Structure 1
Amino acid sequence: MGCDRNCGLIAGAVIGAVLAVFGGILMPVGDMLIEKTIKKEVVLEEGTIAFKNWVKTGTEVYRQFWIYEVQNPQEVMVNSSNIKVKQRGPYTYRVRYLAKENITQDPEDHTVSFVQPKGAIFEPSLSVGTENDTFTVLNLAVAYNNTVDGVYKVFNGKDNISKVAIIDTYKGKRNLSYWPSYCDMINGTDAASFPPFVEKTRVLQFFSSDICRSIYAVFESDINLKGIPVYRFVLPSKAFASPVQNPDNHCFCTEKVISKNCTSYGVLDISKCKDGKPVYISLPHFLHASPDVSEPIEGLNPNEEEHRTYLDIEPITGFTLRFAKRLQVNMLVKPARKIEALKSLKRNYLVPILWLNETGTIGDEKAEMFRKQVTGKINLLGLVEMILLSVGVVMFVAFMISYCACRSKTVK
């Protein structure tokens, strides 16, 4: 009888040990299987999850505009007074709803080429007025419809998953021809996705044709987005700093910049990229810009939460599931004898024209699909691993304690 009981206790302990070992083995094996599956599904080729979402995201993307209306144009023209502005908006358009076109795979260098059509549909219900509203602003033609962006040529990741979605060439070139030195390089992806297995220490590089340069984002915080754990990456203020504060930015400083010896910051001269028009890009309301830039403009209220740019990245796949891109278009205005309205000016102004907020969030249907196909399976596997390991350890310890107790009683 005692032998049967002891044998049963030993058998229980052995089963517990086997479960614990199996749970422990399942951890690296499971991680390996997940990694293998992810590497297969994020490749940009027909039949993968990534390709289907890459061709047409299905995410509702809106681009909102706020127009800066000048309240005192006569005072400015006659007395060179501070410019008083008042933002009017938003005027909202649905954008990025068109699928990529001219998709061509190149199996030799493992790249895929495409163009991204630009379309915009006005959304009256999300706007304060109509497209026929009038404003007192500087004359600046702004185009966001019936054009295409590209050609982009990106790596499909088939030979090296760490390069997936990274831009090889833009409009047939690896450089922009706008900036000197390394500032002219086209780095990273287009920010719609990044190579998988994103770590918090990684600096995410991406190229934006809107601002005619490559830029980067750094990790800020963990976020839960519709039940999906994501990493929030933000554009740091250092990216807009002057060369005095950040020497890496020296090649973004141009001769026509309004600052003295490039000591001002937070504004980027993209006139060379815009056919010579005196266009300057900044964050809305001159967020992260030096005080001398905004000093001649009254009516600005920079706010970190409303005016910064961020990306919410699902770290395992590298997909961007939510984003907010905010930027401001400004014009440099200088005294000009041949222009009646400008001939009496006694100083230069960097005048804000408009700022935009482009946002997109994964839809409920897509989020549910993502939870089932990616995070749900990973969480389930992790749960099974922990249950097996925990139950196995508890069984082993419990049965061994019981066995030892029985043995001591038998000896006595």
Structure 2
Amino acid sequence: MGCCNKLCGLKAGIGAGIAVAILGIILIPVGNNIIRETVTKESVIEPGTTAWENWVSADAPVYRQFWLFDVQNPLDVVENGSKPKLVEKGPYTYKTRYLPKENITANPENHTISFLLPAGAIFEPSMSVGSEEDSVTSLNLAVAVMSGLYEHNINYGALAFTRRTVREILWGYKDPILKGTLGLFFPYNGTYDGPYSVFTGKDDISKVSIIDSWQGEKKVSFWNNTYCDMINGTDGSSFSPFLDKKKPLYFFSPDISRSVSAEYERSLNLKGIEVYRFKLPPLTLASPAVNPDNQCFCTDSVVSKNCTLAGVLDITSSRGQPVYISLPHFLHGSPYLVEDVEGLGPSEEHHVTFLDVEPTTGFSLRFAKRLQVNMMYGPSKIITVLKKVKDYTILPIVWLNETASLDDKTADRFKKELLSRVDMLETVQFTLIGLGSAAFVLCTVAHCLVSRNNNKLVKHCFWFKGV
């Protein structure tokens, strides 16, 4: 009876192990559904969700770092047509995007929400190499504007290069000839970007954060082309949850007046959170000869060298002055862009734009948007000081790195409020499968051993009786 009880108990153990393992397997789709429902609910842009708290006002501080190019040989450039010799000065750092969104208005009829994004910049001396009053020799912005926008004979009696403070070049100064304020980012403080209208994801989570309209329009009007004028994707701060690394992420950037895409590069660990790194691919600013999709971004045969130039985007139509955007140090640009000046060193590590996105929620937890602002000068009959210049040169003025990363406090809250639930469900699933499998194996092995011993005992009894 003892052996029978053992065998019965072991059989029960095998059954229980199978049942527990099956329960763990069954919980996988159930748990996945719970995870998906939880993440979907928390990703909708509406009051009370995790997404809402991060969306209204970013917890992580956003900084804009500027590196200005100081021209070392301005007279030699003008009088002898020599290459500009550049020395990079920076970073000069400003805290930006510290103001919460304004005029937030829900539009339940089409599941969108509209808002204004206020602009502000506060200088951060502790994160800068010097003060805003540091001086830099750069291309005279007035000369660049005049040569780019005027076709009539004008004897503009100003220096081609001028020495200005960092504050003046970035944020503006009064020009005595043009009788107006000139500055690469003027006006900025006290202005607004938008209004934006984005989808909340309430009816379709795959559309969350996607821009429905910008400045009241479904598309931009800078490129006079249906494809190039499209507003695609989000603003880059978040994307739809449950990312597929095989698919690119699309986002719209008012700084360059167009939409771009980013491609998956690798997975990283950010403060204990797995993130996918997406990077701007080299084809983004490639010449139309290499990337035909960029043909409609080619708007000027002189600047683009008959649309063979790679690495520069002419945004004159949106800025109202001749400004050319590139990646810092002409990364991924045509070789002669770097060769036309001295002092540049393109680096994938330091100059590429990237987003680190948490794949389950689609939240961007770290990013670096890196752009370079350039202006052009060249031989001119209408600008007296440029008569001796031999060829057109796209001159780097400044490059910027707009960056943010979640801090320890935000990371801990993110893991506690959302990822811990996911981890707990996965732990329960695999624990049940593990325990059930272990019980099944152990009880099966024990059952075989007991059964074999019983068989030996029976044979021994029959042999003894025979004797």
Q: What is the rounded CA distance, in whole Å, between the counterparts of 1:255 and 1:301 in structure 2?
A: 27
Measured after TM superposition, the shift of residue 257 of structure 1 is 4.8
Measured after TM superposition, the shift of residue 260 of structure 1 is 2.7
Q: Secondary structure at the match of 1:183?
A: coil
CA contact (8 A) 1:257 1:269 kept: no
Q: What is the rounded CA distance, in whole Å, between the counterparts of 1:312 and 1:350 in structure 2?
A: 32
Q: Does 1:239 align with 2:240?
A: no
The superposition leaves residues 192-233 of structure 1 with CA deviations (integer Å, 9 ceiling, x where unpaired) of 000110111011000001111100100000100000000000
Q: What is the rounded CA distance, in whole Å, between the counterparts of 1:263 and 1:117 in structure 2?
A: 38
Q: What is the rounded CA distance, in whole Å, between the counterparts of 1:335 and 1:175 in structure 2?
A: 36
Q: What is the rounded CA distance, in whole Å, between the counterparts of 1:199 and 1:257 in structure 2?
A: 41
Q: Secondary structure at the match of 1:217?
A: strand
The superposition leaves residues 229-271 of structure 1 with CA deviations (integer Å, 9 ceiling, x where unpaired) of 0000000101121111111111111124523321110100000
Q: Does 1:314 align with 2:358?
A: yes
1:21 partner amino acid? I
Name the counterpart of 1:142: 184
Q: What is the rounded CA distance, in whole Å, between the counterparts of 1:208 and 1:191 in structure 2?
A: 8
Unaligned stretches of 5+ residues in structure 1: none
The superposition leaves residues 386-405 of structure 1 with CA deviations (integer Å, 9 ceiling, x where unpaired) of 11101101111211222133
1:98 partner amino acid? L
Q: What is the rounded CA distance, in whole Å, between the counterparts of 2:199 and 2:341 in structure 1?
A: 44
Q: What is the rounded CA distance, in whole Å, between the counterparts of 2:284 and 2:51 in structure 1?
A: 30
Moved more, 38-47 or 258-267: 258-267
Matches within 5 A, 1:351-370: 351-370=395-414
Matches within 5 A, 1:3-402: 3-140=4-141, 141-143=183-185, 144-179=188-223, 180-275=225-320, 277-402=321-446
Unaligned stretches of 5+ residues in structure 2: 142-182, 457-467
Moved more, 372-381 or 124-133: 372-381
The superposition leaves residues 150-175 of structure 1 with CA deviations (integer Å, 9 ceiling, x where unpaired) of 00000000000000000000001111
State how many pairs are aligned.
411
Q: Normalised by the size of structure 2, how large is the TM-score?
A: 0.86
Moved more, 40-49 or 251-260: 251-260
CA contact (8 A) 1:264 1:292 kept: no
CA contact (8 A) 2:301 2:307 kept: no
CA contact (8 A) 2:277 2:356 kept: yes
The superposition leaves residues 306-363 of structure 1 with CA deviations (integer Å, 9 ceiling, x where unpaired) of 1111000000000000001110000021222232322222211101000001110001
Measured after TM superposition, the shift of residue 3 of structure 1 is 1.6
Q: Secondary structure at the match of 2:386?
A: coil
Q: Secondary structure at the match of 1:137?
A: strand
Q: What is the rounded CA distance, in whole Å, between the counterparts of 1:71 and 1:251 in structure 2?
A: 36
Q: What is the rounded CA distance, in whole Å, between the counterparts of 1:257 and 1:323 in structure 2?
A: 34
Name the counterpart of 2:146: none
1:107 partner amino acid? P
Q: What is the rounded CA distance, in whole Å, between the counterparts of 2:304 and 2:36 in structure 1?
A: 50
Q: What is the rounded CA distance, in whole Å, between the counterparts of 1:22 and 1:333 in structure 2?
A: 72
Q: Secondary structure at the match of 1:83?
A: coil
CA contact (8 A) 1:80 1:345 kept: yes
1:335 partner amino acid? P
Q: Secondary structure at the match of 1:136?
A: strand
Q: 1:257 to 1:26 in 2, by over 3 A?
A: farther
Q: CA RMSD in A?
A: 1.1
1:56 partner amino acid? S
CA contact (8 A) 2:250 2:259 kept: yes
Q: 1:257 to 1:208 in 2, by over 3 A?
A: farther
Q: What is the rounded CA distance, in whole Å, between the counterparts of 1:336 and 1:279 in structure 2?
A: 18
Moved more, 340-349 or 323-332: 340-349
Q: Secondary structure at the match of 1:379?
A: helix
CA contact (8 A) 2:199 2:209 kept: yes
Q: What is the rounded CA distance, in whole Å, between the counterparts of 1:36 and 1:380 in structure 2?
A: 15
Q: Normalised by the size of structure 1, how large is the TM-score?
A: 0.98
Q: What is the rounded CA distance, in whole Å, between the counterparts of 1:340 and 1:364 in structure 2?
A: 57
2:121 partner amino acid? A
Q: What is the rounded CA distance, in whole Å, between the counterparts of 2:385 and 2:322 in structure 1?
A: 17
Q: What is the rounded CA distance, in whole Å, between the counterparts of 2:401 and 2:276 in structure 1?
A: 21
Measured after TM superposition, the shift of residue 281 of structure 1 is 0.2
Identity over aligned pairs, percent: 53
Name the counterpart of 1:407: 451
Q: Secondary structure at the match of 2:355?
A: strand
1:211 partner amino acid? I
Q: Which portions of structure 1, spanning 4 or more consecutive aligned residues, are displaced by more than 3 angstroms?
A: none
2:229 partner amino acid? D
Q: What is the rounded CA distance, in whole Å, between the counterparts of 1:373 and 1:72 in structure 2?
A: 57
1:401 partner amino acid? V
Q: Secondary structure at the match of 2:139?
A: coil
CA contact (8 A) 2:67 2:88 kept: yes
